[in-house]
Structure 1
Amino acid sequence: METFERARLDAYFARVAAQFAPEERAASFLITHLLAERPAFVRAVSAMTRLAAVLPKPKSVQQAAKREVEQAVPVDCLAREMFTDDDTAVDYFESRAAGDTVCLLDVGGYFAPSLIEVASRFTGRLLGVIEDTENGRRRYEDLDKLPCPVVSVARSPLKDPEDYLVGQSVVFSTEAVMRDRGDILHGRPALVIGFGKLGSSIARLLHAKGVQVTVFDIDPVRRTQALSQGFTVARDREAALTGAGLVLCATGAVSLRGEDFSHLRNGAYVATVTSSEDELDLAGLPDVYTRTQVGDHVTRYQTTGHYFYLANGGNAVNFIHGASVGPFIFLVQAEILAAIRMLTRGDLVPGIHEVPAVDREVIAAIWLSYFNR
């Protein structure tokens, strides 16, 4: 980023932080994609909370951004195993914020598995969680009983521009990966698994490029939506896989299990919008498949009579090119800052909550004053 762009971004976040300044300055733990522009958001979180640690998502760390953040706050290595074992999770929070009032800022439901035990055993006070993504929101909803408030921004109207542009970046990166190997999108029927906000965006963008698109979704409502928008909707996923030369997985859950990969047609490309641990059951792939790196971001899986290509190791394909969605991401980050104030008020009951519409309007107005020039 240019110096003037950094200055404008810092000024924007400073204004948002002042607008939603909490009465209580709690400690916080921040899971985030540590991309080039992210230090400004980290500074804003630090202004509103006592930032105990930043935990970068391991597949989306830009080293220059990490070095910048490390100068101000602790940066710890993130793995899902940290929070799948209750004792490990409790010990980690105690090591960084024993006895503190704490809020957790999440991307993808990392804190969910141990949340109940942490809430009951942590020596401090757990105010709640702020969750950025739809699959993360589902992980918290799947808990038998939430022990604290969870503020979700996943379904916010302020996230709509990001979702559209993420879909655009996924299509761009997928096409770039294919072109690097001399392949192109055209003449290669595509299957989009999942027709939520990201999947529908991807389907529309592929269609606009002249690609024949089929959609598969387990939700009958989404299947009707796909039909109404002119897409072919697969009744049978196995048959749809057999006919697709490109498969884009956009469910936020497991799209392809071990037995599904054998149905891919020869030479098909597979790409995802999230991490491989969320979207693909690669561990279930039969051992007879050999893995060969055939490009900077392409792995060929091959056995006798069958082969397919996996983009970016099964992780989000758009992170190959930085996953940039421009300044629209700052709308969502500002809503996360507004959610910090909601949690620190201490008046939310356990359950799923959303930022009020009036706060979103304030955020949109501030954003427009900085970025609609």
Structure 2
Amino acid sequence: MATVVDFEERRLQAYFSHLATEVGSIANTKLVCVAHMVSNSVVFLPALADIAPVGLLLPKPKTASTDEARKIAQYGFKSHELSRDWAKNGHLVVQAIKDAIKGPDQIILVDIGGYFAESLNDIAKGLEGRLVGVMEGTENGLQKYEKSGIDYTVPIITVARSPLKLPEDYHVGSGVVFSVESVLREQAQILQTRTACVIGYGRVGSGVAEVLRGRGIPTVVHDQSPIAMAEAAARGFQVFRRLEEALRISSLVISATGGNALDRKALASVRSGAVIATVTSVDDEFVEDDLKLYRPSRVSPSIKRYDSDGQQYFWLVNNGNPANFLHGAVIGPAMQLIEGEKMAAIHALANNTFVSDGKISEVTYEARVRVAEIWNEHFLDD
């Protein structure tokens, strides 16, 4: 008898197959993919082969040893260890790509987190005209490309600001709150005893704040953007212009900036006994050298306690990596909307059919509509 998981995987496979047929394959092109080793990737990565084969897989470091990573390894993708320092070295990246992908095939980088923002031009030069461009999937990664100050020699296409990503962003926020609550309950605590601070009122952070407020949790917000702070205030949140003041009154901190907001000054302001969780990787939310000033001790597989030499301490969920990854980052079919647009974006990059606005490009409105139509066909009732 087929299980629920079997059914969902078959439905995803049918959806991706339909998309691939609609979008079309790309000849003589290989993908170099940065990817979280989570449940969705088990289906999505092999689905990409219908567009262009994955020639080199770069597992995100904090998920490289998951059960899902072991499942994905069975597909036989060539892989290479990923780190920020390695990705900044264009020569090393080019050598890894050439070792994995022989011959004259063109290359598309599929990035999650702006890993190649500093080295992209060096990679393009080293690949001698083979690099088509980059598809970046996240807002914090996109900002790294935008803020680099580099005049890139190849195009960058993104899905990070697509309207099709809004459902995913909201469900990620819900998943983060669910996982934080689960961790607290493991320690015989509940959300409702805490006051929350959400750092970063972007598309995911705003979802986190709304979910927390909906659960009856007093929630304050901080963002570096005056526009984001004004929006949060207009939506009824108490907004602090100084992060340190927001942290001092909060016993739960959820950081959603992708901009290393949790530096030495911020950590020193964290209320003793507070719980800290993030929606992105530890190297995106913390200044890691500053985190090392605290002494960690394992409390459970899900949480550590960090102590300073004084009286301050805090609890850190999932080693500072996305809290929702504790439960497989499962957010349901909504995620497949943006995964579908990623396939369309890769095809648009290869065929130069994207819409460009200076440094960053996106797929056309018509491409998004078609992705949504196919998703509706597979995931909505008639």
Short-chain TM bin: over 0.9
2:45 is aligned with what amino acid? V
| 8 Å CA contact 1:25, 1:344 repeated in 2 | no
Greater mean deviation of Cα atoms: 346-355 or 251-260: 346-355
1:210 and 2:210 are equivalent in the alignment: no
Q: How does 1:243-254 map to 2 (within 5 A)?
A: 243-254=249-260
Q: TM-score, normalised by structure 2?
A: 0.92
| 8 Å CA contact 1:242, 1:264 repeated in 2 | yes
Q: How does 1:213-362 map to 2 (within 5 A)?
A: 213-285=219-291, 287=293, 289-302=294-307, 303-346=309-352, 351-362=359-370
Greater mean deviation of Cα atoms: 121-130 or 229-238: 121-130
| 8 Å CA contact 1:131, 1:151 repeated in 2 | yes
| 8 Å CA contact 1:22, 1:340 repeated in 2 | no
Distance 1:237 1:68 in 2: 40
Give 1:134's match in structure 2, choosing from 132, 139, 156: 139
Number of residue pairs matched by the alignment: 372
2:140 is aligned with what amino acid? N
2:167 is aligned with what amino acid? P
User: Which residue is 1:56 aligned to?
Assistant: 59
Distance 1:70 1:124 in 2: 32
* Counterpart secondary structure, 1:226: helix
| 8 Å CA contact 1:107, 1:132 repeated in 2 | yes
1:76 is aligned with what amino acid? H
Distance 2:216 2:75 in 1: 48
User: What stretches of structure 1 of length at least 5 have no aligned partner?
Assistant: none
* Counterpart secondary structure, 1:128: strand
* Counterpart secondary structure, 2:54: strand
CA offsets per residue over residues 219-263 of structure 1, 9 Å max, x none? 001111011000001132212111111111011111110232121
Query: Compared with structure 1, are the counterparts of its residues 337 and 285 closer, same or farther at alpha carbon in structure 2 (3 Å cutoff)?
Result: closer
CA offsets per residue over residues 189-246 of structure 1, 9 Å max, x none? 1111100011111111111111111111110011110110000011322121111111
Query: Compared with structure 1, are the counterparts of its residues 273 and 68 closer, same or farther at alpha carbon in structure 2 (3 Å cutoff)?
Result: closer
* Counterpart secondary structure, 2:35: strand
Query: Compared with structure 1, are the counterparts of its residues 75 and 92 closer, same or farther at alpha carbon in structure 2 (3 Å cutoff)?
Result: closer
* Counterpart secondary structure, 1:59: helix
User: Which residue is 1:177 aligned to?
Assistant: 183
Greater mean deviation of Cα atoms: 33-42 or 137-146: 33-42
1:363 and 2:358 are equivalent in the alignment: no
Q: Tell me by how many angstroms 1:266 deviates.
A: 1.4
Q: How does 1:127-166 map to 2 (within 5 A)?
A: 127-143=132-148, 144-166=150-172
Q: How does 1:93-104 map to 2 (within 5 A)?
A: 93-98=97-102, 99-104=104-109
1:222 is aligned with what amino acid? A
Distance 1:233 1:126 in 2: 44
| 8 Å CA contact 1:257, 1:281 repeated in 2 | yes
Say what the alpha-carbon RMSD is for the aligned residues. 1.8
User: What stretches of structure 2 of length at least 5 have no aligned partner?
Assistant: none
User: Which residue is 1:32 aligned to?
Assistant: 35
Q: Tell me by how many angstroms 1:146 deviates.
A: 1.5
Q: Tell me by how many angstroms 1:184 deviates.
A: 1.6
Query: Compared with structure 1, are the counterparts of its residues 71 and 23 closer, same or farther at alpha carbon in structure 2 (3 Å cutoff)?
Result: closer
Greater mean deviation of Cα atoms: 60-69 or 236-245: 60-69
Distance 1:90 1:65 in 2: 24
Q: Tell me by how many angstroms 1:105 deviates.
A: 0.8
CA offsets per residue over residues 304-345 of structure 1, 9 Å max, x none? 321111111111111011111101111111101111211111
Give 2:202's match in structure 1, choosing from 196, 203, 207: 196
Distance 1:47 1:10 in 2: 11
Distance 1:73 1:124 in 2: 24
Greater mean deviation of Cα atoms: 31-40 or 229-238: 31-40
Greater mean deviation of Cα atoms: 243-252 or 57-66: 57-66
Greater mean deviation of Cα atoms: 125-134 or 66-75: 66-75
Distance 1:306 1:192 in 2: 20
| 8 Å CA contact 2:192, 2:217 repeated in 1 | yes
Distance 1:81 1:28 in 2: 21
Give 1:106's match in structure 2, choosing from 111, 122, 136: 111
User: Which residue is 1:10 aligned to?
Assistant: 13
User: Which residue is 2:127 aligned to?
Assistant: 122
Q: TM-score, normalised by structure 1?
A: 0.94
Query: Compared with structure 1, are the counterparts of its residues 323 and 138 closer, same or farther at alpha carbon in structure 2 (3 Å cutoff)?
Result: same
Distance 2:52 2:85 in 1: 26
1:20 is aligned with what amino acid? V
Distance 1:65 1:281 in 2: 27
Query: Compared with structure 1, are the counterparts of its residues 127 and 338 closer, same or farther at alpha carbon in structure 2 (3 Å cutoff)?
Result: same
Distance 2:199 2:258 in 1: 10
* Counterpart secondary structure, 2:192: coil
2:203 is aligned with what amino acid? K
CA offsets per residue over residues 273-306 of structure 1, 9 Å max, x none? 011101011311474x322112221111123321
2:161 is aligned with what amino acid? R
